[in-house]
Amino acid sequence: MPVSVTMPRLGESVTEGTVTRWLKQEGDTVEVDEPLLEVSTDKVDTEIPSPAAGVLTRIVVGEDETAEVGSELATIGDEASGGSGASGGEAEPRQSTPEPTAAAEGTGPEPEQKQPAPAPSGGGSSSGDGSPVTMPALGESVTEGTVTRWLKQVGDTVEIDEPLLEVSTDKVDTEIPSPVAGTVLEITVAEDETAEVGATLAVVGTAGAAAKPEPKPEPAPKPEAKPAPKPEPKPEPKVTEPTPGASYNEPAAEAESASDPAKAERASAPSAPAPRPATTGGTENAGYVTPLVRKLASEHGVDLATVNGTGVGGRIRKQDVLDAAEQARAAKAAPAPAAQPAAPAAKPAARPAPSSKRGSTEKLPRIRTTIAKRMHESLHEMAQLTTVVEVDVTRIAKLRARAKDAFQQRHGVKLSFLPFFALAAVEALQAFPIVNAQMDLGAGTITYPEAEHLGVAVDTERGLMVPVIHNAGDLNLGGIAKRVADLAERTRTNKISPDELAGATFTLTNTGSRGALFDTPIVPSPQSAMLGTGAVVKRPVVVNDPELGEVVAVRSMIYLALSYDHRLIDGADAARFLGAVKERLEAGNFEAELGR
């Protein structure tokens, strides 16, 4: 019979999902648990596995269309209905043709297994042994999942697509819906246990289902499972639940203790939900943490607030907790003799030493006098304005990481971010010369220099100095990197010539070298603009993925602040200049300049 593929509930508050991509098309053959389509919600993006094997006969919801939870997405047909081919009978996984005959004949074990299903479901004309609930493939690289909570217990009645259990993997936490309506006959994987993809998690009895070949050896356990449903509803009225701090998992533990002492032991162990709130409370700044990670942290005594997550968006993964536990054990083993007393001693050492200039007065150095006059004059001569943009430099960061060693061997200087920013700025100056121009209000003229002379601010012991890369537009990335390194070194050692400190038409200042996100630079007269580059910081941002749409990812971000003389440069001119710089940097096409 045809099997309906429905939109699962991928979270407690999720009511709908959008089909982003169909991995199979109408007429394609699919296997049970094979990824069938990709779905996006406001909480998770995941693949939906096929609930049965067969042929995808109909797609109901197309790509980029939204469907409510429980609505039909597609239909998988049973090839057995059209003939007895090799793939026939695979629409219902693990079913074979001999067993329906056995069920119809009412053989010994089958009637016993048919009885539990009719009682809770209200009776049915025919009932089979049950349908297995398997661990779905919740991602291409996901091979296993951990059962974090059973939402139904043995003997409970479930509807089709009703949430049955919660599963956690290293990529997603989600609810698994019941593939059929009926009664939970057996739970094969307990809470906090891990099962591979495709493994049976439970068995749900359903009316009209064909019997399976596997349950023949199981008739004996199944009747034992029947008493559990009856005593279970009695503890579930929460006679014992009102205990303060009791977890929603505790009824399951009581039910299992009544039916199976072995399961009771497993259920009693996870009663560590009590520590869960404590752990979660200490992780308010650590982001979302999966139940499995919370359990591992509780077992190993790891404070999640101190763990740096390596997952997407800084999410804490299982391996992060295990690494933190290993580091804690190593720290306890080695530093026992004297490392602990040394730790407090390190804290005072981190404080900066008081300067000897405290409480003294000295003559104002000439260079500081010059800087003070020029900054004051610039602010009073110009109508200065600053525009800031945010730039994603992840591609440059990756390219730099790959090329920096070879670059240093070839050019003899380190490859920092600054040459990339300088090259992008010079190219934008060539396209928008108004930013490189100089205005003489008295003479009523605007002068457009024939070349880009780039000043680079350098922090020295004597104060801020600005050596100039003349004709910077004639240099490639390697040439700019070598000139910046050379000028900065000679400026700091006071070996720079006066001519190399004059003639700049545009200045670049790296305010992020000391960790500043951005500032509002003061433009030095007679220049008309100055670009400040902030610190390159990794943080979660929303990016537009061509396949997944808008997703949150960790990216290397920087703020670029352009200060300019608003008397000459309009806000639109500044925006166009910054847009060109941003586009050049985010494209990251610098391989040719690096010789790669």
Q: Which residues are catalytic?
A: 566, 570
In terms of Cα–Cα distance, which of 65, 69, 35 is closest to 51?
35
* Spatial separation of the C-alpha atoms in residues 270 and 191, rounded to whole Å: 7
Return the SS3 of 376: helix
Residue 441 phi, psi (nearest 5): -65, -35
Kindly state the tokens that stand for 255.
């039910």
In terms of Cα–Cα distance, which of 391, 384, 425, 417 is closest to 508?
425
* Spatial separation of the C-alpha atoms in residues 194 and 171, rounded to whole Å: 15
DSSP string, 106-144: T-SHHHHHHTTTHHHHT--S-B-S-EEEE----STT--E
- Cα radius of gyration rounded to whole Å, the chain: 34
Give the bridge partners for 534, in sequence order: none
Burial category of 325 from C-beta neighbours within 10 Å (exposed 0-12, middle 13-18, buried 19 and up): middle
Q: Which residues contact 348 (CB under 8 A, 6 or more apart)?
A: none
**Cα end-to-end distance, the chain, whole Å:** 58
Sign of CA dihedral 498, 499, 503, 508: negative
